[in-house]
Structure 1
């Protein structure tokens, strides 16, 4: 594929999964199906949470926001991948920088929301009698509002720095969206400032979120192990099993994507891990919560029975 060797970039070319050019139609159908499932699954969680009074609790309020964050994350990256049938997936330079910024925004929001949900589960398991007092509606709204504000503010410096770099090596991004790390590979100016800000952002958001989540589950598991009856342990674990599954998938993917040694990294692997993080995890999150959560399953059954009566 021809690429331009230029100093001032007006547009970029997303190479996507160009190595599978003979599978364009099957891949287009696959990615379209994934996107539709993400939308349908997460919108279902949001609708059920809003419509069923039984789900008007802090836990489901957090889950509703996580579903919205998953939709946002996928909508930022996947629609451009659906241009796979075109020979060249072009995106304007400004559009690329905006996409990179919102990708960082959604990543921050996911970290923060999952941490808030870990705290919610910690209080529910460790202080069940005081849960309604500690995690009340006001605190829930404040915590979620804080995650969205921080999610937009933390990546601002990176969003400002990206357009300031000179891109003279090429305008072809070997990725399916404007991933900041892929953009840095095209820069012929120093990227040390951007990388320093990334480390600061990771230290400000990533590490504290991981530490808080890990600490919460250490206390949760310790509390569950002290419960004498097997039935009591099962019930206590069931209150956080869905969130724990999502946490393992999320952090496992992030660590695999960004914490591998440079010698073990390849562009193809990075794209596959990025696809897992931006598309597959948002697709299976609603399934995890609906399959492992009694209230959600009961609400779904009620909705199906109601619709069935309407058409009979």
Structure 2
């Protein structure tokens, strides 16, 4: 459609060029041969207008095909150098490193829960978000559908007041009550998950002094083999009110020394951090097992599947012993 329209435009320009020149010749002759000189000036004006139209369209035609083409080439060179410098360095590089964009004001947790499929894994490393106590039912339903949750949450201890003092609108005691409520809700969920449910839940409660610098929320999608990561920042607002950066990459089962390659991306670096933190907490749990005492900082479901609940997505289905962790 566009090409046909361009052809019609050029045909119209040619008609104006040759038509204007024809009008100039015909009316010029009529102005000379007309017996009555009283109206000859009108014919002369029409003749001159035809010549003017023909010349103007011809000049425009020449400018478009010869001069403007060269000007466009020069402009394209300038834009190409500028775009290469800024677009490649920002947009293209950001896409290559896994960046998808920024969420609206808040992360839509409910939408994410409904987008999960059996076999997907969700990794959680968020200190404090008062909204999530309302979504425990969605946690439970997702687990019953076959989704696996691995969570690192804050231990109930005095040190959270260091973070609570930075949050607007939340006192220290209120912060701790929310944290306890969330942990209690997770224990209730674990108590209702059994061997018939295909999903699993593993939760380590860890110390405040081992906190990361950013909250992280991972989705490892089994069907599409993709890794999605949402991360935000700990500032003066509760994390539930903060926007999140959204990252995505292909799901890799081995990211060892991935940062050393040219194909490094942020989702893999985030995932590597979570896996390392999980292994540290798991090692503490295994050391406790060797002392024949229950690890109070590890919550899991189903109750008979501790080894299954302590594993991450990329690990084998069986653990021969705690030392293999």
TM surpasses 0.5: no
Task: Compare the two structures and name the one with the higher strand fraction.
Answer: 2
Task: Provide the TM-score with structure 1 as the length reference.
Answer: 0.25
Q: Which has the larger radius of gyration?
A: 2
Greater RCO, 1 or 2 (C-alpha within 8 Å, sep 6+): 1
